[in-house]
Amino acid sequence: MALSLLYQVQQTRTSNEQAIRDSHLQLATLALSDPDLLLAWSPPGTPVTLKRHRQHLMTSLALGELLQRFRIGHLSVEKLAVKLNGHFRGEIAREQWRREGPGWRRTMEAGDHRDRVFVRLVEEQYQAAVAAGPASALLEFQDRPNSA
């Protein structure tokens, strides 16, 4: 009986987190589709092109997705570290964290234990990536040869 109740509480929490994530994704979709809405929802703290601001938002959404998976137990600390290592190989992800990391840290430090573990691991992986050397070079899609 107690196990059944515990399972129901966990399922309800997971459902609620998914509903919040879905709502956030809808807002992000609207913001990415309209520059005026993007500036209203997520104004850049420092001057940046619209294209780069959208790219930063996408990397932030990717981190948010990893956070949700970590919160509900779908990613262990070890798997999260591997994901973050790949995430911070890219120039845009590094720029986004340099720009928005302080806000993430303040928010996550005010959260529960898993939030604090998450942001600590993100910061560690970011610092390790920076220490390892330059980010992977960007290759514009229009410069890629056709692979047809």
Q: Return the pLDDT at 148.
A: 47
Amino acid at 115: D
Q: Please give the Cα distance from 144 to 61 (Å, whole number).
A: 26
Distances (CA, A) of 106 to 4, 21, 124: 36, 20, 16
Please give the structure tokens belonging to residue 37.
Answer: 């809405």
133 φψ region: left (φ > 0), alpha (ψ -120 to 50), beta (else)? left
Kind and range of the H or E run holding 30? helix 2-33
Q: Return the pLDDT at 129.
A: 96
Residues making up the chain, counted from first to last: 148
With CA atoms as reference, report the closest residue to 97 among 132, 122, 131: 122
Instruction: Give per-residue pLDDT as tens, 74-133.
Output: 999 999 999 999 999 999 999 999 999 999 999 999 999 999 999 999 999 999 999 999
Q: Return the pLDDT at 144.
A: 53
* pLDDT over 70, % of the chain: 92
Q: Please give the Cα distance from 50 to 132 (Å, whole number).
A: 29
Q: Return the pLDDT at 145.
A: 55
pLDDT at residue 142 tops 50: no
- Say what the pTM is: 0.79
Q: Return the pLDDT at 41.
A: 76
Instruction: Give per-residue pLDDT as tens, 20-70.
Output: 878 878 888 888 888 888 888 777 778 889 899 899 999 999 999 999 999
Q: Return the pLDDT at 13.
A: 79
Q: Return the pLDDT at 137.
A: 67
